[in-house]
Amino acid sequence: MNRQLTQVFVVSATSIAAVAALASPSSAAPADKPQVLSSWTQTSASSYNSFISARNNQGAWSAYGFDWSTDYCSSSPDNPLGFKFELSCARHDFGYRNYKKMGTFSANKARLDSAFYEDLKRVCAPLSTIPRGACNSLAWTYYQAVKALG
């Protein structure tokens, strides 16, 4: 009886190890995750556009395990004075949350904050002179806040 129990245990342990070995590679994030994350968190408009495209098709990126959650502009207004800052804030949250998960936040924070500021200025750019000035002032204020407190 004791010998049979030992054999069952060995077979069960071997089966569990085999399943774990097979499951691990498929559940691991793709090796290019850092490169993809970096490509979506640069200061350029093309990086921003790539991020928005991916955000609108999150299911295609599910294997990467990205954290897409956002509180937008946290306790600040998402659209101050009607300026649409919420997507800039969402991308900023995405960068912060995912670099923190990867353990490389400190090395990337300054770039993430700069990308945020560039995104905000792109919101302001098409506006006429007076509203653009107000928008740029708010963009600078939001940038200084994340730079100091983010």
Q: Which residues are catalytic?
A: 92
3-state helix/strand/coil string of 17-82: HHHHHHHHHHHCCCCCHHHHHHHCCCCCHHHHHHHHHHHCCHHHHHHHCCCCCCCCCCCCCCCHHH
Name residue 32's amino acid.
Answer: D
By the 10 Å C-beta count (0-12 exposed, 13-18 middle, 19+ buried), 38 is classed as middle
